[in-house]
Amino acid sequence: MTQAEHYEQFLALHRQPEAFVMPNVWDGLSALIFKDAGFASLATSSAALAFTLGRQDGRHTVSADEHLAHAKFLIEISGLPVNGDFEDGYGATPDDVAATVRAAIDAGLAGIGVEDTSGDPADPIRDFDDAVARVRAAAQAARGRIVLTGRTDNFIQGRNDLDDTIRRLTAFAEAGADVLYAPYPPDMAAVEAIVKAVAVDAAGRSAQDARTVMIDNTAPTLAVAGADRGRLAPGRLTWTIDAADSVGIASVECSLAPRGSPASFGPCSGGRRSHSATLRAEGDYAFMVRVIDTVGNVTTSRVLTLTVDRNAGRAGGTGGSGQDATGLAGFQPLVRNSFRTSGRWTRFLQLSVSNLPAGGRAELFCKGRSCPLARRSFEPRRGRVSLVRALKGRSLLAGTRLTVRAVGPRGEHKLVTFTMRRGKAPRKTVRCAPSGRRLGRCA
């Protein structure tokens, strides 16, 4: 298949009404694995390429020629459209960026990304005018030949400036970018603000002019009260589904049926709400939740197996104490995190607590020389707290300990501690305790 055919195929994926998933690959074997799994397109990753070569990402340690050769090999071995994650366009000037785009077309790529990074750790984001000029030059070279993504790395680089992110994405669209991308927004409220500000209603513009917005979505979470490792006594079952901040959701549906029986889905949630049902017969049940997007596709799903046992909740019975596995009945906070590690330093890109009940709170502790804070307490909004801003974009030195504590309305505790390590992901430990009791193991 020619480059032009790959371009048309890749463009069609962006114009279809439903979203599609494009995996990052790092070598020939991973490209073939993802192709065999049924993916319609692939993408290079500047980080994956740099790491496989034993180099650092985002510091211009990989040349344009090396990246082009890598992408060309992936195209040849997979036969699929490939998008190139080409950092800042590999050049000091907008003309250099345009030359990189033309070289990518010659190499056979179907898409290319140009971001506003500088490669300078002291000043990682380019000035607004410079960033826009580089995307404009790329768009002039790309138009009608390769799909261009205009990307801002504000959030990744610790600049949690939503207004500037929207300003940059809007300018990239006006400069001619086909796709807009701002990875790692701090929360779903930021995702919603970005989409509302820059997404184009295809009914108001032609398909050729419509822009695609790439987002990192967070699947709704599910918590079931009173279950001890999936076991609970007959009676009233109560559950909470947190989908309050999700963008593009039309409905959330649930099915509760004996295990092995056909599922029977019906509406069960719109936002963070508690629901209940009565389970009297002993046995195994499959509790399923699925999310339907605005075009009718199932975007995410959750399956939980529950065993109804009359001994659950009785002392000496199979179910133990009758609380959940943490000893925190109905208290199931979720701590989400993502980070980037380089040498002795670790930077958190996301750190949040969700599914906090009314009256709960989150606390953040830091111990070590590189800590930007000692201790802070946060009140949740709709059961969710974003903590990453409290770190002020600072990287944490190996040996630093960062602890997130979720506190329930009755004094329940869940502690998640991250210990930074040199060249490795932080070591994560989780401990829990009901009110007035010592911390212990969580399920």
Inter-residue contact 148 to 114 (CB < 8 Å): yes
Token pair of 374, please? Answer: 């000692």
- State the pLDDT at residue 87: 95
Query: First-to-last CA distance in the chain?
Result: 51
CA pair distance 78, 74, nearest whole angstrom:
6
pLDDT of residue 435: 58
DSSP annotation of 317: S
Both tokens of 67, joined, read: 């990246």
CA distance 305 to 229: 10
User: What tokens appear for 201 in the block?
Assistant: 């209603």
CATH, domain range 221-308: 2.60.40.2550
Contacts of 66 (CB under 8 A, 6+ apart): 49, 53
pLDDT of res. 44: 97
Coil, strand or helix at 229: coil
SS3 state at 81: coil
| Alpha helices, H only, 53-198 | 64-78, 94-107, 128-142, 162-175, 188-198
Task: Write down the domain spans for the chain.
Answer: 3-214, 221-308, 334-441
Structural element, H or E, at residue 268: strand 266-269
> Which regions in the chain score pLDDT beneath 70?
200-250, 259-260, 263, 268-281, 290-331, 434-443
% of the chain residues with pLDDT over 70: 72
Assign 3-class secondary structure to 47-80: HHHHHHCCCCCCCCCCCHHHHHHHHHHHHHHHCC
Cα radius of gyration rounded to whole Å, the chain: 24
The partner residues of 223 in beta bridges, in order of sequence, read: 240
Burial class, 31, CB count within 10 angstroms (exposed 0-12 / middle 13-18 / buried 19+) = buried
Helix (H, G, I), strand (E, B) or coil at 24: strand
C-alpha separations of 115 from 91, 150, 181, 219 in Å: 12, 6, 9, 26
Q: Which two tokens stand for residue 299?
A: 């975007």
Considering only CA atoms, which of 361, 428, 11, 391 is closest in space to residue 212? 11
- Spatial separation of the C-alpha atoms in residues 191 and 386, rounded to whole Å: 13
Do the Cβ atoms of 272 and 188 come closer than 8 Å? no
The pLDDT value given to residue 426: 87
What digits encode the pLDDT tens for the residues 161-199? 899 999 999 999 889 999 999 998 888 888 888 888 887
CB 365 within 8 A of CB 374: yes
Q: What is the CATH number of domain 3-214?
A: 3.20.20.60
CA distance 313 to 85: 53
434-437: Cβ within 8 A, 24+ apart: 434/323, 434/326, 434/327, 434/328, 434/329, 434/410, 435/408, 435/410, 435/411, 436/411, 437/327
Equal fold, 3-214 vs 221-308: no
Q: What pLDDT score was predicted for residue 318? A: 29
Tallying the residues shown for the chain, one arrives at 443
DSSP reduced 3-state for 233:
coil
- State the helix-helix crossing angle for 64-78 and 28-36, rounded to 10 degrees: 40
